Structure 1
Amino acid sequence: MLEYLIEKDKQLLCYLNGMGTPAADSFWLFITHPLASVPLYLCLLYFCFKYFHWKQVVLILVFIALIITTTDQLANAFKYGFQRFRPCHDETLINEMRMVICGGKYGFFSAHAANTMVIAVFFSLLLKKYIRYIVPLLLLWSVIVSYSRIYLGVHFPGDILVGLAIGALLASLFYRLFLFTEKKLKLPTKEEA
């Protein structure tokens, strides 16, 4: 069964990666670059200051640092634990796919997918009562960045799906821990200030 899933994962990668064109490559290279998301991060920071007391914002930033560190370290543990080659390092695919860029040797699971989903879910939970369409917008952003990794041939679709799932799970757990910590610290809200 596992071999069947791996083979289907490879086929789906080749199909999705094969839909790319040299003209679109620069767009997807931009989307996958971490600096491309800086404007979004600045907007999220602005919304935090707009809707939360500055002490709450400090706690939010501490939690974001913790959650990104946790996600990155977990992704590294999985990559070196499972040692699944990235598509660009898989000799069975070298002649089957478009090589746009190549990353490190191992790719299971995608840290890009996990980190974008962690940000999307955590901030969705924080801001959904203040900003009407924040949830679908952040989830769409995460999916687009994650898809860029398939387009570029650095991750299999399965790497992406597992990364998205782990990111959503970690964000939910850390959000609950954030609420617990905020309550224990008795931080003032913006309305109380």
Structure 2
Amino acid sequence: MDEIIQEDKKVFLYLNNLGDPSFDQLWMLISSTWIWVPLYIIFLYFLYKNYQLRSLVFILIFLALGATVSDQLANVFKYGVARLRPCHDPSLEHYMRIVKCGGQYGFYSAHASNTFFLASYLGILLKKKIKWFPYAIFVWAIVVSYSRIYLGVHFPIDVLVGAFAGSLLGVIFSVLAQKVINKQKITP
């Protein structure tokens, strides 16, 4: 396990040090939550245009439940595993670029989990109706997740585990939403 952690730190330092101060504000913006509200509104519009109102209600309920589970499960792991964020790791302080620092613990990334939850959940629900959508939303999730490494708040493994957990939850909640919609004999 120590070898994996050391490799994770090496990859982190490489990726984190690719940054440049002239791009720091951009990456902070990408990592912020509120900047994406217009995009979330576009996601809602796509759902509204492609599903009937009764179906949309169930989709939004499962979206809210899944996003809450994704976010809170990441917090349980952060305090349960208690792995220091890179910006709090004394062995890295002289080698990394700290652009921003969050709470003390960072395993695993809630940003990665939440964005990949949205990407997989919405990607599955909209893939037959908007062919390009799953590709675009996964690119968005990757960019937001990388921003966490760039800023110095997560290691690559934190991001990868968050992406896996979020994707898994997205699949589970999209299947549940589709089953409820089909059981209610609600046609999309």
TM-score range, shorter chain: over 0.9
Which is worse superposed, 122-131 or 177-186? Answer: 177-186
CA-CA distance at 1:177 after TM superposition: 0.8
Which is worse superposed, 177-186 or 30-39? Answer: 177-186
- 1:100 corresponding residue in structure 2: 99
- 1:55 corresponding residue in structure 2: 54
CA-CA distance at 1:160 after TM superposition: 0.2
TM-score, normalised by the number of residues in structure 1: 0.95
2:146 partner letter:
Y
Cα RMSD (Å): 0.9
- 2:132 corresponding residue in structure 1: 133
Which whole-Å deviations, capped at 9, do the CAs of 1:101-138 have from their partners, x for residues lacking one?
Answer: 10011000000000000000111101111112111101
- 2:109 corresponding residue in structure 1: 110
**Residues 6-85 of structure 1 aligned to structure 2 (within 5 Å):** 6-85=5-84
For these two proteins, the number of residue pairs brought into alignment is 188
Which whole-Å deviations, capped at 9, do the CAs of 1:20-78 have from their partners, x for residues lacking one?
Answer: 11100000000000112212211111111111001111111111110011011110111
- 2:120 corresponding residue in structure 1: 121
Q: 2:108 and 2:161 mapped to 1: Cα distance?
A: 6
**Residues 108-187 of structure 1 aligned to structure 2 (within 5 Å):** 108-187=107-186
Q: 1:39 and 1:131 mapped to 2: Cα distance?
A: 19
Q: 1:187 and 1:138 mapped to 2: Cα distance?
A: 26
2:46 partner letter:
F
Q: Which runs of 4+ in 1 moved over 4 A?
A: none
For structure 1, the 5+ residue unaligned runs are none
For structure 2, the 5+ residue unaligned runs are none
**Identity of counterpart residues, as a percentage?**
47
Q: Secondary structure at the residue paired with 2:107?
A: coil
Q: 2:94 and 2:106 mapped to 1: Cα distance?
A: 19
2:27 partner letter:
W
CA-CA distance at 1:188 after TM superposition: 4.1
TM-score, normalised by the number of residues in structure 2: 0.97
